[in-house]
A = this chain, B = another copy of it.
């Protein structure tokens, strides 16, 4: 099994999405605003126009609070305690644009920042902060027709459970008998089926692309990509068989029976980020008759020899952030093209193994699907 995507993920986590070298306090502009992901009415955490993040947490009898973001001191940002009982602090440098997971270490215990919303990552609900990106409009909530995101519970015999998925249906879905292609879109390690909507804004990216006439409307299905819910962190023992059965023998037939889908290979795509890319890689190679479009977002590559003697995909899309290993993605794409495959690469500028890379990847991928 190729563990590279996981290694990349851990490296990025250690870097904490840090953008630049440390700067002095004098360079920090005083234009901090609440992060867009704060809980209603909460003033902190804040972000300034340079991408510095500032934290403020009340715990008058605590001795120490460290934020897991930034590179000050021993990793993360150590907050300073004030006489008013508030701990405050600012990252030692600007953060990468986009979404970051984080948590607080309060007197040695791990807790979330009560100022922010929580997002499932690292196999726990973590705090989230958003550094507004220059291109944030493509995933913004705009005054355009909106599709819906619906929770479905589908029966799974192989795992003996009702499993959950979220289904994005484009604006106008269900008003006529129109049938749509489907993208099966997987999250990364430690995340779950909520990630692509909550952290990824996949629905808003689609709404905006459709409003701009840049994409043929399609359905997106997002489900939980692990089947060993009890053994957390057991990624090295991961086997694709059970999830492949859930996806191809249980979920896809359920979606085709309950939604207005075009139920054939040329109208079915699979994509995934990080571990979800690893899953996409394995499942598309095992079931090439099921999917016509493949996409790995920071999730590895396809080699030409793996694709030989199989039905040819209509598209192979490989992407990553410029702070990951873009040469790997570019070189693989060059080789695939030379071998006659319709391969496309995309590198997200100045981002690492984090969600802005994947939001942008979906933005690039969507218009190339189902053509």
Q: Which A residues are closer than 8 A to B by beta carbons?
A: 39-41, 57-64, 85, 104, 106-112, 114, 117-118, 123-125, 141-143, 146, 148-155, 162, 167, 169, 174-175, 197, 203, 229-230, 232, 258
Is the pair B106, A114 in contact by a Cβ cutoff of 8 Å? no
- 7 A-B pairs within 8 Å (CB atoms) are namely A39-B124, A59-B107, A59-B108, A60-B107, A61-B107, A142-B162, A146-B154
State in angstroms the CA–CA spacing of A141 and B141 once bound together. 33
A226 to chain B, nearest CB (A): 10
Chain B: minimal CB distance from A3 (Å): 21
How far, in whole Å, are A123 and B115 apart by their CA atoms in the complex?
Answer: 12
Number of copies: 2
Q: Please give me the residue from chain B that is nearest to A259 by CB atom.
A: B174
Residues A41 and B106 in contact, CB atoms below 8 Å apart: no
Across the interface, A111 reaches (CB within 8 A) one of B106, B117, B167, B229, namely B106
Contact partners of A39 in chain B: CB under 8 A = 124-125
Given A118-B118, A151-B149, A151-B150, A40-B107 contact (CB < 8 Å) = no
CA distance A202 to B104 in the complex (A): 34
CA distance A41 to B234 in the complex (A): 12
Q: How far is A155 from B197 in the complex, measured between Cα atoms in Å?
A: 19
Given the known inter-chain contacts A39-B125, A40-B123, please indicate yes or no for A85 contacting B108, CB distance below 8 A. Answer: yes
Query: In the complex the two chains form, what is the Cα distance from A123 to B309 in whole Å?
Result: 58
Q: Which residue of B has the minimal Cβ distance to A151?
A: B149
CA distance A197 to B149 in the complex (A): 14
Q: Across the interface, name the chain B residue whose C-beta is closest to A231.
A: B41
Smallest CB gap from A192: residue in B: B40
| B153:A150 contact, CB within 8 angstroms | no
